[in-house]
Amino acid sequence: MHGLQAILTFLAAATLAAGADFSGQSALEYTRRVVAFGARTPGSPGMHRQQTYLRAELAKRGCQVWDDTFTASTPLDPIRMTNIIARFTGRSGQAIVFTGHYDTKVMPGINFVGANDGGASTGFLLEMARVLAGQSRQHDVYLVWFDGEEAIAQWSETDGVYGSKHLAARWNADGTLGRIKALINVDMIGDRDLGILREGYSSPGLRARVWSAARRRGYGSHFLNEGSLVEDDHAAFVRLGVNALNLIDFDYGPSNSYWHTEKDTIDKLSADSFQVVGTVLLDVLHELEQ
Ligand SMILES: [Zn+2]
């Protein structure tokens, strides 16, 4: 190793210390790790390996971590599912929540690894955990990896978003929902060609805050004017009155041809896209904590 290379390696390691700025490269590397487990459908061996990996990573971060396990009744058999929750404790009693799904879709007959759809949200949240570690907090910050976002058979009102429906009901019953100032869900945000929709169920106020933070950073072009309604993991929370936003890029590859296909692989993602979303959401977190 040459001297300059040694310095650069040292600098790279230093910037990856806990509590540092969000690194898109690091988020992409976390995503690569979980994609390497193969299919991560609920209850599968790949999902179990992923859960072990997440728990080991989160154990380094000084946060509380717990499982929210439940049995989902699906069009096939009942399936045990597990949301993983991490909490960085603050002083105010209020809470900010970042969520995403970590399951991949059951796709019989094809080798579906869900790099963007399932992988990107997982890697993004793992990088958030690294950044939040060791910081002093005004509000509690929760990170939630939802299981069972994908339909088990065919998407319908009762087949899909199992984990978020379960946790929204649970947090409604135990009073946690009342402490949530904002909940932001991310889905498929690793796409190289990043364009985040104005998702129509989302809170307009929270969306405006995120869109202006993006403009201030010069990232406005990635946050689109086009909108549509996407039933995703934020929706159960919106229905219960939570100030919630969904950040989703729903145009993945030419004519969305990478979505739910074997083309959803790690080479379709870029560190820059993670960097855009991570930088903006940390700006928003700091604003919400002032
Ligand atoms: Zn999907």
Residue-wise pLDDT for 186-216, tens only, equals: 999 999 999 999 999 999 999 999 999 999 9
Whether the predicted pLDDT of 8 surpasses 60: no
Q: Residue 150 C-alpha to ligand 1 middle, in angstroms?
A: 6
Q: Residue 136 C-alpha to ligand 1 middle, in angstroms?
A: 35
Predicted confidence at residue 4, as pLDDT, reads 52
Predicted confidence at residue 16, as pLDDT, reads 52
Predicted confidence at residue 19, as pLDDT, reads 53
Q: Residue 130 C-alpha to ligand 1 middle, in angstroms?
A: 26
Q: Residue 48 C-alpha to ligand 1 middle, in angstroms?
A: 19
Q: Residue 129 C-alpha to ligand 1 middle, in angstroms?
A: 23
pLDDT class of 134 with cuts at 50, 70, 90:
confident
Q: What percent of the chain has pLDDT over 90?
A: 91
Q: Residue 17 C-alpha to ligand 1 middle, in angstroms?
A: 32
Q: What percent of the chain has pLDDT over 70?
A: 93
Q: Residue 116 C-alpha to ligand 1 middle, in angstroms?
A: 9
Q: Residue 247 C-alpha to ligand 1 middle, in angstroms?
A: 14
Q: Residue 260 C-alpha to ligand 1 middle, in angstroms?
A: 6
Q: Residue 286 C-alpha to ligand 1 middle, in angstroms?
A: 30
Mind spelling out the 3-state secondary structure of the chain?
CCHHHHHHHHHHHHHCCCCCCCCHHHHHHHHHHHHCCCCCCCCCHHHHHHHHHHHHHHHCCCCEEEEEEEEECCCCCCEEEEEEEEEECCCCCCEEEEEEECCCCCCCCCCCCCHHHHHHHHHHHHHHHHHHCCCCCCCEEEEEEECCCCCCCCCCCCCCCHHHHHHHHHHHHHCHHHHEEEEEEEECCCECCCCEEEECCCCHHHHHHHHHHHHHCCCHHHEEEEEECCCCCCHHHHHCCCCEEEEECCCCCHHHCCCCCCCCCHHHECHHHHHHHHHHHHHHHHHHCC
Predicted confidence at residue 14, as pLDDT, reads 45
Q: Residue 251 C-alpha to ligand 1 middle, in angstroms?
A: 12
Q: Residue 199 C-alpha to ligand 1 middle, in angstroms?
A: 16
pLDDT tens figures, 110-127 = 999 999 999 999 999 999
Q: Residue 179 C-alpha to ligand 1 middle, in angstroms?
A: 29
pLDDT tens figures, 268-286 = 999 999 999 999 999 999 9
- Between 275 and 9, name the one with better pLDDT: 275
Q: Residue 43 C-alpha to ligand 1 middle, in angstroms?
A: 17
pLDDT class of 1 with cuts at 50, 70, 90:
very low
pLDDT tens figures, 151-189 = 999 999 999 999 999 999 999 999 999 999 999 999 999
Q: Residue 86 C-alpha to ligand 1 middle, in angstroms?
A: 23
CATH number of 21-288: 3.40.630.10
Look over the chain and give the mean of its residue pLDDT values, rounded to a whole number. Answer: 94
Predicted confidence at residue 15, as pLDDT, reads 46
pLDDT tens figures, 73-86 = 999 999 999 999 99
Q: Residue 62 C-alpha to ligand 1 middle, in angstroms?
A: 31
